Amino acid sequence: MKSLGFILGLGLLIALSLPVAAILGDLAIVMDALWNGGRLQRTFGGFLWEKSSQYLLLSIPLFVLLGEINLRSGIAARMYGAVAKWISWLPGGLMHANIGASAIFAATSGSSVATSATIGTVAYPEIARNGYDEALFLGSIAAGGTLGIL
């Protein structure tokens, strides 16, 4: 009888044009409550709390916040401009400036994610302004974020 309820519930929710992943998740919660007394929900809640209270998950948004503060205050743009002027004599100087600015910013923020996000936001308008190939330019930003933390 419970299997029939599962199949009918599945058919009803599919008929409502809901996403299949949401349907299966909702039905799993309901069936767990009916068959196991909600044991899976209690276990899953403890698992989520354990994983979400780790330091690493707290630090990543704070690093991105630091990058956003530096971006909005103009520090990142001034730093990028200084590195770009310093390295502009090299061929492809702006792409070298991406690497240099990423190294400096990663040294101050300590996060490759925040570095890529901030330098990418500052450097992206320079693509069209200076006529660089977008894929190559964005590749140097991605590489700079990864190399900067080293």
Confidence of residue 1 (pLDDT cuts 50, 70, 90): low
State which of 9-23, 28-42, 56-70 shows the largest mean pLDDT: 9-23
Can you tell me the distance from the alpha carbon of 41 to that of 18, in angstroms, rounded to the nearest whole number?
22
**Cβ proximity of 74 and 122 under 8 Å:** no
User: What average pLDDT does the chain have?
Assistant: 82
Q: How many residues does the chain have?
A: 150
Burial class (CB in 10 A: 0-12, 13-18, 19+), 109: buried
The residue extents of the domains of the chain are 2-52, 55-148
**pLDDT tens across 91-142, in order?**
888 888 888 888 888 888 777 888 888 888 888 888 778 888 888 888 888 8
pLDDT in tens, 40-53: 777 887 888 887 77
Q: In this model, does residue 148 exceed pLDDT 80?
A: no
Please count the other Cβ atoms lying within 10 Å of the Cβ belonging to residue 70. 20
pTM of the entire predicted model: 0.58
